[in-house]
Amino acid sequence: MSSRMPLRRMILAASVAVVLVASLLVLLLPMQPAPTVLHTGTARYIVTATVDNPLTGVTAIEFAFATRTASTASATAVDLEAVMPLMGHATESIRAVPLGGDRYRVDGVPLMMAGPWELLVSIEAGGTAEHLTLPLSVH
């Protein structure tokens, strides 16, 4: 019986060590955040914006538009500017690429630092433009 005690202690110690290492890895390794989904609208459109990666760096943003009435024209062009008013950062206006089905995508949006950003979106349709602002928290 006494020869089994050191073996049990070694197994217990090894088990505790494995649990501690696994816990540290979960806490210390950076995790990819889930995409951020933002909802808003204008008088003519319901807008859903999906930010692929809401972290500092370069990301992509996809827009989905639904018209509020059957007589509303579909969007023909979408432009995006990312602005950080507190720090004076702003990107150039970026034209979104149409994906079909009232969906558009902007790749390569530079979000240079963490903090509150605003996504300024311009929607062109039927010879008019509508503008909206979406708040985005970048980590």
pTM for this predicted structure: 0.75
The domain defined by 36-138 folds into: Immunoglobulin-like (2.60.40)
CA distance 91 to 76: 22
Position 31 scores a pLDDT of 64
Q: What is the pLDDT of residues 65-119, one digit of tens each?
A: 999 888 888 889 999 999 999 999 999 999 999 999 899 999 999 999 999 999 9
Sign of CA dihedral 25, 26, 30, 31: positive
| pLDDT above 70: percentage of residues in the chain | 93
Confidence tier at 16 by pLDDT (50, 70, 90) = confident
